[in-house]
Structure 1
Amino acid sequence: MSLISVLRTGVSGMNAQSNRISTVAENVQNSSTTGYKRTSAEFSSLLIENNSTTNYTSGAVETKVRRAIGAEGPITFTTSKTDLAIQGNGFFVVQDENQAPYLTRAGNFVVDGPTGNLINSGGFSLMGYSLVDGAEPNPALNSTDGMVPVNMASLGLRATPSTKATVTGNLSADTTPLSGIVSPENFSKKSSIVTYDKLGNSVTLDIYLKRSVPTAGDATADPVIPAVLDNTWTAAVYDPDDVALTGPVTFVFGADGKLSGTTKANLTIPGGEAFSLDLSSMTQLAGAYDLKGTANGKAPSAVTGTEFGSDGVVYATYADGTRLGAFKIPLAEVKSPDNLNPRAGNVFQTTLESGDLQIGFAGLGGLGNVKSSALEQSNVDVSSELTTMIESQTVYTANSKVFMTGNELLETLMNLKR
């Protein structure tokens, strides 16, 4: 038996328990840290080869630090809409000031004043795909290429140009017919509808309607008038400067006072988009003239808040009550999350052992859902850590006794020479 090996074995045991106590200390101090993952020290024995049955040389104990990154912590709810938690598998993709990508489960994001980015308590910016151009994101499956910081301040004011409108209601069957082409000088009824150009300026479209009863050979007759003259109307649309935006649109009511088929006036709003005016829902019945109209499009409106969908879509809410999908937050996963490399700020990097990251979206391919106004807490059980601490303290003391005993035996051996 080697007394020196006894000393080394005792020191090895004390070092191992010191590592274990260190992980306990880190776990306890981070028990309230959002998204923190528990660290533990796992032991394995190191035996000396060629030990005989009559003369044994003691070995040592090795320590391997493991992290329960794949184990979820409990989710608690908060009052902040920008607090995010992942219920299920996956990590948020974030980046530091040097634009290096990392993974994290810490979703305590707030708006950063200087940049407008959503950053967590570690100072890392949340990454996503921009939806402002209206295109569905097409992410690289194993790369963060194409991601940008989620920044709601970059949206600013938004104007929605008008592209369609619908006019409904009744054209009185008692309206006196008129000859000639419908125009601002020759019409039976006039209505107006407000639309918006690309800049959000309001553009009032004037709709002139005329009941037509031309006769054969009449030089002032409307073009292409059907045979049933008493039920024929024409419409034309003019801008505020009385410039015609479309030629006369002819439509005929049946005997029941309803239109058959679809009647639309297609035009382009000055400074705006191509526009379709649907007149198909009008009727010609006895009674009063009563038309109503609705058009899409919005005047410029400012961002007033943010909403998060469970699928990871970040919506900008506007002062006019509308909302717009601005970003889509991806989730990342790896084959072996417990082998990720932890970095300061409660973030992780991929390693050869963890495998490359895979990018997807919430609720798809085994990935979890994103919860707003919620945070994932640490997965540390403080009571278990305190138990481990007491156990390690006891074992450390026992290893120190082994060292002291070996030292006493060695002194006894050395005294034999005297």
Structure 2
Amino acid sequence: MIYLRLVAESFRFAWQALRANMLRTFLSLLGVTIGIFAIISVFTLVDSLERNVRDSMSFIGDKVIYVQKWPWAFGGNYPWWKYFQRPEPSMREFRQLERRITMSNGVAIFADKGDNTFKHRNNSYSEANLMGVTFDYNKVSEIPIVQGRYFVPQEVEAARNVMLIGDEVATTLYPQTDPIGQELKVAGQKFTVIGVIEKQGENMFGMPNFDQMGIVPYGSFAKMFDVGPDGLGSTIAAKGREDDPGLLELEYEVRGLMRNIRGLRPRDEDSFALNRPEMATQAIGSFFEVVGLAGWVIGGFAILVGGFGIANIMFVSVKERTNIIGIQKSLGAKNYFILFQFLFESVFLSLLGGGIGILLVFLLTLIPQDIMAVGLSLGNIILGLGVSAVIGMLSGIIPAVLASNLDPVIAIRSK
């Protein structure tokens, strides 16, 4: 009970001090407010950017290893001349890998070509991406079907002219018609629509997704376009198992099998690249770490100024209330009571400034965005309030100790 009374009295003293010097309090809180606003706004933008970028890249799959000619690279020098003579993954290699692999939940080969025009009667959709896949592609990359169905094995093996289309393609070509069972023409070939993929929506950087895509059996794609050493390249993808969290076993197996299939000797370098989505997310994470550090530096200077402002308020407050402190101590108030009273006031001031900064960030998140959804997370709110509380304690500890150690007789005589 005594602690509740202590908190209540400390809150009352802090509120009276705020009301007595509104302008001074406002100017002192401004630094903390700006500092917390800078830090939390940067962190909120970084979190939102990272989340949206990762969502935009979700179409490449999760827990997947890609066998390709070219390795992925993110910044720095790229020695393209080392990879130029490498062969593209082939259907023959895919068949052997599919037959011999044991650490995978699914293996698929696919190839794609951009800038296609899909036509249905008088309607057309240009700059579409067309992809040819084998049956297990839906195990490698999730394909949410909202209308119709996915391929059956017989359609893929027989290279039938059937197609899955994205939401944007379906809306453009069949605005008032059920697209299932309708015909679609691309590159002079007629295809029957058997499924519509769920709407993905606009993403960061205009990265491709299923909305602007058509997916056909790999054999059908190969009949339309030149796929091979002198034509379009293919990619083999292997989906990892849940009991292989780091995909290390899958990576070792795929590397060993591909080297064996291509007849590489022990000292020969790999003639293929094993690419993983984690490589992209790690590069993204490194970039956002730098941005986050910049937010800490920018906000740190503002918080430092705010901390000095709060410390100044507390020193002035101790000087103005020295007589009251003496009276309190003469009536039996303990040192810890005086210490807690001023420390609480300092933390309260800092939390108030930090709370205003967080509120400003929250108001910014309410501004509607078409491409990137910005949201203030609970973690960032706790971080902002935590930093504010620490700044308040550091700013108020010295004035609070000085106030608690005042001699009651000398303090009462002061004016």
Q: Shorter-chain-normalised TM-score: which range?
A: under 0.3
Structure with greater strand share of residues: 1
- Comparing both chains, which one has the higher relative contact order based on Cα–Cα distances under 8 Å and sequence gaps of 6 or more? 2
With normalisation by structure 2, the TM-score equals: 0.28
**Looking at CA atoms only, which structure, 1 or 2, has the larger radius of gyration?**
1
